[in-house]
Structure 1
């Protein structure tokens, strides 16, 4: 850092405006519910890095999981652990709903296929009956 920039920064920190900003930032930091492990990297950069490494898109909950774990793999706080558990449950529910919808669609498809098959068989029987009837009419 250049000397004149450093001196400007020190002057700002010691000014009334700088002290006011420090108080606001301290209060904001105290209000934070969760601390993250991303450091100075933005969450967007973390997400992009993870997406490049894994080759798949990351959602908000997955990004939360990545940025709120310690190096040993444990969550930063119990609140973060609770959110991660809720995220897992929500993901499982969504997966079950998707599977149920898929099964329902398959049942509907098979039902419609069976209806078409029954209609075709009924039409074939009707045609056969009509042919037999016409043959009997010719004999009389």
Structure 2
């Protein structure tokens, strides 16, 4: 998995494109066949994609609502539009903060799932070792 991550980062850096959080999470939590490593990771990716779509819809809305500046009119007098701009800006910032929070929660949930999986594996190994020890302590019949 780390090799895929570094290959991705190197390809993104050489192409000059910015690496997005969602794409980075997908790369680090998806198998090569496109399926998610855990069900939690799959749910998190879906939530992040929904937030991204919502954010993109908001950006398109901003583009439709905000007027293009008129070169001949250096000081537009419509203060209502500035209020709309401000509200849309705050909503976009709030959506971005929420997406960041979801990404952080997703990363924490993925770490917790991985730790739980490792703990379960260690518990199983310990049980197997205890059984082997108990069998070695029995006198031969």
Give the TM-score of the pair, scaled to structure 2: 0.51
TM-superposition CA deviations, 1:64-123 (whole Å, max 9, x none)? 22x253326765511101100111000000011111111111111111111110010011
The match for 1:45 is none
> Equivalent residue for 2:137?
136
Q: Provide the C-alpha distance between the structure 1 equivalents of 2:111 and 2:74, rounded to a whole number of angstroms.
A: 46
1:69 matched to 2:69? The reply is yes
Q: Which residue of 2 aligns with 1:103?
A: 104
Distance 1:128 1:119, change over 3 A: same
2:88 maps to 87
Q: 5+ residue gaps in structure 2? A: 1-55
TM-score, length of structure 1 as denominator length: 0.52
1:75/1:134 CA distance change after superposition, 3 Å: farther
Aligned to 1:119: 120
Structure 1, unaligned runs of 5 or more = 1-55
Number of paired residues?
84
Give the number of the structure whose alpha-carbon radius of gyration is greater: 1
By relative contact order (CA 8 Å, sep 6+), the higher-ranking structure is 2
RMSD, aligned CA: 2.6
